[in-house]
């Protein structure tokens, strides 16, 4: 009788099965098996907030299969991810399957490697109900806010809106920043740079600082002209030269938050993409038999901790000495202090095996996996390296009582910078902004030395408004304020974008009119829900439940009393506030009253309506344009264009091939037709290999001008598909993955495999 191990992901199941051997059967629950139903609140607000869960639709067969395996098993190990959500999945599994508590054991893996998996199986534990209740409280909180608040938004703003406990706060953050930008008044300021000639004949530059009394701001052209006139034609005296050396410490290893910020800045990934790829790296990838086969490449990617195991530190130090030299390895391992309110259950994000260098396993990873793994590997290795040594230089020169300064640094010893340098958010220009120049070039100067002036350059500037939030800077703000948890940031951003409260403009997040109106309503009627401090306090209460210091009812009861009172007050004010969305005008002219028609939403979508309703009730489809007199143009003679000659010859007779049009689109035909009837379809190549034989894939046009994909060696190789092969292998079964036609959805075609995921940045299908 074998033991049963139940994990969340099929790809994780493959790796764990390999490590545990024939005495264990590993099966995947594919996420949650129970949840609150979508059709009702399903929370008893009057009786201790009891939640009424149901089995998730579509998982009945899977639950039956797992129940059958559990009954036959000697022991059942519940092994979902090691966090609140994973603990809740384990609890729901135990309930849905009717598992015997005496033989149901909870195990968790911080990394999917043989030693860690086997050690965890040897030390199982009971389900931690504190963790489960923390997750339940969050789920009930979100359900109550969403189901009670959304109908109010329907009445006050428009149908179909929804509100969320943390999403509403995130939308407010972006709206508040937009308000700051609109209210910003640019301030004029001036700079004056003096170009000087050193003793070696080389030119260098210094900037006006002030006087001996301190820093002085040049607010207008007159202030700048005063300085320019005073120093023009004069020589400068070196008032001071300071040379020093300073140490620059490496950044700590990644937490979930810092990984999302850095991957957004350096790789340009959206948070959803970052977490999906990190999950793949954690669950396990086949990196070849020479590297141990299927391996989890990183530790668990949902963590607030900066803690690193002694074994990982030792392995990193050994690699640093071997690869970079003893001078790059500090005397003692580096230890980073985790902040006070962080959840320290798991280590920082690091490579499971630091000796698996990115270049060594590059060929086994997708481009996204390689880039994120490389970032995590470099950050971790750098975090255990010696500090960088920087030589700093600052000079101060005086002329006519005015002081000019320049400063910068050069790298004397790179230390950790030989591997990795942390990126930073873009700075906003202000009158006080001073940039330290890297590798500054200033000649040897001695105090009291006289330096010749080559020219003076005044320049006008304006202060800039605060920058809009990017995903990286929004995540940083949420993390600093304690709003939400790092594991939920990508979900928060995805929701506010999908609900059209926010749109992406390049990397920036910009509020929509809908987002601004909804946020204004929330601030006026439900200020607690969108209050930064209140939301952070709620997260702290979830942490207290997890620690066992309080319980679910004690947290939810006072919240519900205050929230229900706010709902009652808000119901009395519906219609009194101005929460109408801005009107979207069209170019269509109403043919009854002459007004410009506006866009309205109906049960069948958008349509054009007269703005003078109800006086004028005229409506039109948005595709219909205003009726205008048609000007009959004289018939033009169409000149026959010369045929397009292909860059290849006829395979039968060697004559030129020319482009023709047929019922299925363009094709090439022999120019000697009808003497020679050879034809060849016009195709484009897809930059992925054929899933069957590895040859080129051609993009072809079939009946009704629809696109399909076929092997260039057809009919020798009979591969063809309406869905586009993407050159990746399924993480479940290893078969090729395809993008569904006309959809941003990636699926596996294997009959018994149900793998699918959302695609990103996918262009629509076009005629070949």
Which residues are the active-site residues?
300
Task: Give the span between the Cα atoms of 313 and 334, in whole angstroms.
Answer: 8
Bridge partners of 204? 196
Listed in sequence order, the residues at least 6 apart from 420 whose beta carbon sits closer than 8 Å to its beta carbon are: 250, 251, 378, 379, 381, 382
The answer to whether the beta carbons of residues 277 and 427 sit under 8 Å apart is no
Q: CA 47, 48, 52: angle at the middle one, nearest 5?
A: 80
The total number of residues shown for the chain amounts to 768
Crossing angle of helices 129-156 and 552-573, rounded to 10°: 0
316, containing H or E segment: helix 310-324
Task: Give the span between the Cα atoms of 449 and 54, in whole angstroms.
Answer: 84
| Dihedral angle over CA of 395, 399, 400, 402, nearest 10 | -40
> Does the CA dihedral 369-375-381-384 come out positive or negative?
negative
Distances (CA, A) of 195 to 97, 206, 231: 79, 7, 11
Crossing angle of helices 532-547 and 129-156, rounded to 10°: 150
Q: How far apart are the first and last CA of the chain?
A: 57
254 DSSP 8-state letter: B
Cis omega before residue 602 (within 30°)?
A: no
Q: List the one residue out of 371, 360, 353, 359 whose CA is nearest residue 112.
A: 353
Q: What are phi and psi of 396, to 5 degrees?
A: -130, 125
Task: Report residue 311 as tokens.
Answer: 């074994």
Q: DSSP letter string over 593-652?
A: T-PEEEEEEETTEEEEE-TTTTT---EE-TTPPPP-PPP-PPPPPPPPPPPPEEEEE-TT
Task: Give the span between the Cα atoms of 497 and 7, in whole angstroms.
Answer: 31
Task: Give the span between the Cα atoms of 663 and 253, in whole angstroms.
Answer: 60
Q: Which runs of E-coded beta strand occur in 258-387? A: 285-286, 294-295
Give residue 46's Cα distance to chain centre.
40
């Amino acid at each position: 009788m074998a033991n049963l191990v139940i994990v969340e992901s099929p790809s994780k199941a493959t790796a764990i099965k390999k490590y545990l051997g024939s005495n264990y059967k590993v099966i995947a629950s594919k996420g949650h098996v129970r949840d609150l139903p979508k059709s009702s609140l399903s929370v008893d607000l009057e009786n201790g907030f009891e939640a009424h869960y149901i089995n998730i639709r579509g998982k009945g067969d899977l639950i039956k299969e797992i129940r059958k395996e559990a009954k036959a098993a000697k022991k059942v190990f519940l092994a979902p991810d090691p966090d609140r959500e994973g603990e809740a999945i384990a609890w729901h599994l135990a309930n849905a399957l009717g598992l015997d508590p005496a033989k149901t054991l909870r195990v968790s893996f911080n990394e999917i490697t043989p030693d860690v998996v086997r050690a965890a199986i040897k030390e199982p534990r009971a389900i931690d109900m504190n963790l489960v209740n923390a997750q339940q409280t969050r789920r009930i909180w979100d359900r109550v806010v969403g189901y009670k608040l959304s109908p109010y938004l329907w009445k006050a703003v428009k149908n179909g809106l929804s509100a969320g406990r943390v999403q509403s706060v995130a939308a407010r953050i972006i709206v508040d920043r937009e308000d700051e930008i609109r209210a910003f008044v640019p301030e004029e300021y001036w700079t004056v740079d003096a170009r000087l000639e050193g003793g070696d004949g080389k030119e260098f530059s210094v900037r006006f600082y002030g006087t001996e009394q301190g820093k002085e701001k040049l607010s207008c052209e007159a202030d700048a002209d005063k300085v320019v006139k005073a120093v023009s034609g004069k020589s400068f005296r070196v008032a001071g030269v300071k040379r020093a050396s300073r140490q620059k410490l490496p950044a700590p290893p990644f937490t979930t938050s810092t990984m999302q910020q850095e991957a957004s800045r350096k790789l340009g990934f959206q948070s959803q993409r970052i977490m999906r790829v990190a999950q793949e790296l954690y669950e396990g990838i086949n990196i070849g038999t020479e590297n141990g086969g299927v391996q989890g490449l990183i530790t668990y990617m949902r963590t607030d901790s900066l803690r690193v195991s002694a074994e990982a530190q030792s392995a990193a130090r050994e690699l640093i000495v071997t690869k970079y030299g003893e001078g790059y390895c500090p005397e003692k391992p580096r230890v980073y202090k985790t902040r006070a309110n962080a959840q320290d259950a798991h280590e920082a994000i690091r490579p499971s095996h630091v000796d698996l260098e990115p270049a060594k396993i590059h060929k086994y990873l997708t481009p996204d996996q390689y880039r994120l793994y490389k970032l995590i590997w470099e950050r971790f290795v750098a975090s255990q390296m010696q500090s960088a040594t920087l030589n700093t230089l600052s000079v101060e020169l005086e002329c006519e009582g005015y002081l000019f300064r320049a400063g910068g640094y050069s790298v004397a010893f790179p230390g950790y910078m030989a591997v990795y340098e942390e990126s930073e958010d873009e700075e906003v220009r202000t009158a006080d902004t001073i940039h330290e120049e890297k590798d500054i070039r200033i000649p040897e100067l001695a105090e009291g030395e006289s330096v010749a002036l080559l020219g003076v350059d005044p320049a006008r500037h304006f202060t800039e408004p605060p920058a809009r939030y990017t995903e990286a800077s929004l995540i940083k703000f949420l993390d600093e304020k304690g709003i939400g948890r790092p594991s939920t940031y990508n979900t928060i951003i995805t929701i506010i974008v999908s609900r059209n409260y926010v749109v992406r403009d390049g990397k920036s997040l910009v509020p929509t009119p809908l987002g601004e109106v909804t946020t204004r309503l929330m601030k006026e009627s439900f200020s607690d829900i969108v209050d930064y401090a209140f939301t952070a306090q709620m997260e702290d209460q979830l942490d207290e439940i997890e620690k066992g210091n309080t319980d679910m009812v004690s947290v939810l009861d006072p919240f519900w009393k205050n929230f229900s009172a706010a709902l009652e007050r808000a119901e009395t004010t519906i219609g009194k506030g101005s929460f109408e969305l801005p009107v979207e005008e069209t170019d269509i002219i109403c043919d009854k009253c002459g007004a410009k028609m506006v866009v309205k939403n109906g049960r069948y979508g958008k349509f054009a309506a007269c703005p003078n309703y109800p006086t004028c009730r005229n409506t039109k489809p948005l595709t219909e344009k205003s009726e205008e007199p048609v000007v009959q143009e004289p018939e033009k003679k169409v000149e026959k264009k010369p045929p397009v000659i292909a860059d290849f010859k006829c395979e039968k007779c060697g004559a030129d091939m020319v482009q023709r049009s047929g019922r299925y689109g363009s094709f090439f035909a022999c120019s000697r037709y009808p003497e020679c009837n050879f034809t060849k379809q016009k195709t484009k190549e897809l930059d992925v290999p054929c899933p069957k034989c590895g040859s080129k894939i051609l993009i072809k046009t079939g009946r009704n001008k629809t696109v399909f994909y076929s092997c260039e060696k057809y009919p020798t190789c009979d591969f063809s598909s309406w869905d586009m092969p993407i050159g990746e292998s399924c993480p479940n079964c290893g078969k090729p993955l395809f993008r569904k036609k006309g959809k941003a959805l990636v699926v596996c075609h294997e009959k018994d495999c149900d793998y699918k995921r959302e695609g990103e940045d996918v262009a629509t299908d076009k005629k070949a």
